[in-house]
Structure 1
Amino acid sequence: MTNCLIYQFNAELKGYKPRMWRRFQVSEDISLARLAYIVMTLFEMRANHLFDFEFKMELNKSKLIKELGRENIEIPRKFLLNIIKIGLPDSETNELDKRIYDFNIFDVKMKHFITPMMPKTRFTYDFGDDWEINVKLEKIIIDETLSKKDLPRVLKGKGYGIIEDCGGIDGLKSIAEAYSEKSGEEYENYCEWLLDDDIDLASFDIVDMNNRLKNIPRIYEKIYEHGIYPTEQEIELIERDY
């Protein structure tokens, strides 16, 4: 059985109604990159784009004013926020763009940045469609009945997830509306593009998702960290061709 702590999270797709969310658990010793692969799996992200995490920590206003040597000044809120961004290095040079990122996501542990004192982070995937997932640590527990092979696991959730390259939240809303009507030119176009005439964005299959969590984060690790293109069988798994 596992001796490590278990981190329980709630994650929600920002800006979409009805809410799409997941409650899930991971072991404490995973990397922040592995947490990203888990979130991507949970929300049907298919490893076609870049991603990052952003953390915010409030600075002490009185300390900042003292350091500036001025007392009666109004400080814009943006200067009271310490933003930490953690992302991917360049796939060719393997170097981090330090104008944007403070840390290489492959080099840091999840538990060093997500704590009870700093429980929230924002995960962004695809900087064109800008899918944002708000991730919050709910609690840290010990469960003697679990082993590491049982993790990650999803406990609850609602909603299917995203559709790659559909134009972000607005595009996802258009798809949901078209498939709810099941008629019209827009519906026919989506059916042709997605090769599916019956998509239910309100659906969530917890058994299927837990099965996917056993394999897909590992595939995403090979893609992002080792530059290994997925096999035909792995592509079929990612694209739900089963």
Structure 2
Amino acid sequence: MASKVQRIKAPTGILQLHIELRGTKPKVWRRVLVPETITLARLHLVIQAAFGWGHSHLHEFIAGDGERYGTPDPMYDDPGSISSESTRLTTALNRSTLSYVYDFGDYWDHRIKVEKKIAPIPEFVLPFCAGGACATPPEDCGGLPGYAEFVRAMANPDDPEHDDLVEWIGTDAWDPLAFDTIEINDRLAEVKV
């Protein structure tokens, strides 16, 4: 008896994105493949998975022309923001780079650039992380200044903050240079685009 294999419809095209977390030292970035038809709302979920963020803070996309896209907040009516639910990445890019800001308190600012367009690949599962570098800063660590302090304190077991930070993140083996595509792609496998 033959088993049924669910075929994944190939997208009209694939975009290879370079997504860099601005201002981090060492540089934190990911190379992600997504369908050309992806909406910004879905791209938000892809970025969350690719960077290991927890999807627990507000976010917005900012186009090169200053146009802002986000998810409407029922507690705050922002007439300056366009819904990201139906806006496609290709529409927002308008031949430029795009910023993605996550967590307005810590203000994690990502630069998104389309590196190239790839022809459809039948049976290729998207989204997919094809490369990158370095560990993502822990959420709620205080933005770039807090992250720099976190890296410094984690590297020095004699630092007065070291033990508290180890307890907070649950490990003393945190490495700012760590990068694991298998772990990232496992998270991306949960994202439906």
User: Do Structure 1 and Structure 2 share a fold, with TM-score over 0.5?
Assistant: yes
After TM superposition, list the pairs within 5 Å mapping 1:1-242 onto structure 2: 2-57=10-65, 83-91=66-74, 96-98=77-79, 100-101=80-81, 103-115=82-94, 118-144=95-121, 146-147=122-123, 150-215=125-190, 217=191
Q: Which has the larger radius of gyration?
A: 1
Query: Cα distance 1:153–1:193, how it changes in 2: closer, same or farther (>3 A)?
Result: same
SS in 1 for 2:116: strand
Are the aligned partners of 2:18 and 2:30 in contact in 1 as well (CA < 8 Å)?
yes
Are the aligned partners of 1:31 and 1:108 in contact in 2 as well (CA < 8 Å)?
yes
After superposition, the C-alpha distances for 1:200-235 in whole angstroms (9 at most, x for unaligned) are: 1210001111111011x35xx9xxxxxxxxxxxxxx
Give the paired residue count. 185
After superposition, the C-alpha distances for 1:75-102 in whole angstroms (9 at most, x for unaligned) are: xxxxxxxx1011110146xx8510x31x
After superposition, the C-alpha distances for 1:2-27 in whole angstroms (9 at most, x for unaligned) are: 15100111011111111111111001
Shift in Å, 1:195:
2.2
Amino acid at match of 2:69: I
Give distance in 1, aligned partners of 2:109 and 2:36.
23
Give distance in 2, aligned partners of 1:170 and 1:110.
30
SS in 2 for 1:147: coil
Give distance in 2, aligned partners of 1:152 and 1:12.
17
Are the aligned partners of 2:26 and 2:176 in contact in 1 as well (CA < 8 Å)?
no
Shift in Å, 1:107:
2.3
RMSD: 1.9
Are the aligned partners of 1:26 and 1:153 in contact in 2 as well (CA < 8 Å)?
yes
After superposition, the C-alpha distances for 1:125-170 in whole angstroms (9 at most, x for unaligned) are: 01111000001011111043x435x110011110111211110011
Give distance in 2, aligned partners of 1:7 and 1:195.
36
Amino acid at match of 1:85: R
Q: Unaligned stretches of 5+ in structure 2? A: 1-8
Give distance in 2, aligned partners of 1:111 and 1:128.
28
Amino acid at match of 2:185: N
Shift in Å, 1:51:
0.0
**Identity in percent:** 30
Query: Cα distance 1:3–1:188, how it changes in 2: closer, same or farther (>3 A)?
Result: closer
Give distance in 1, aligned partners of 2:58 and 2:40.
14
Give distance in 2, aligned partners of 1:113 and 1:54.
8
Amino acid at match of 1:191: V
Structure whose residues are more often helix by fraction: 1
Give distance in 1, aligned partners of 2:11 and 2:40.
20
Q: Unaligned stretches of 5+ in structure 1? A: 58-82, 222-242
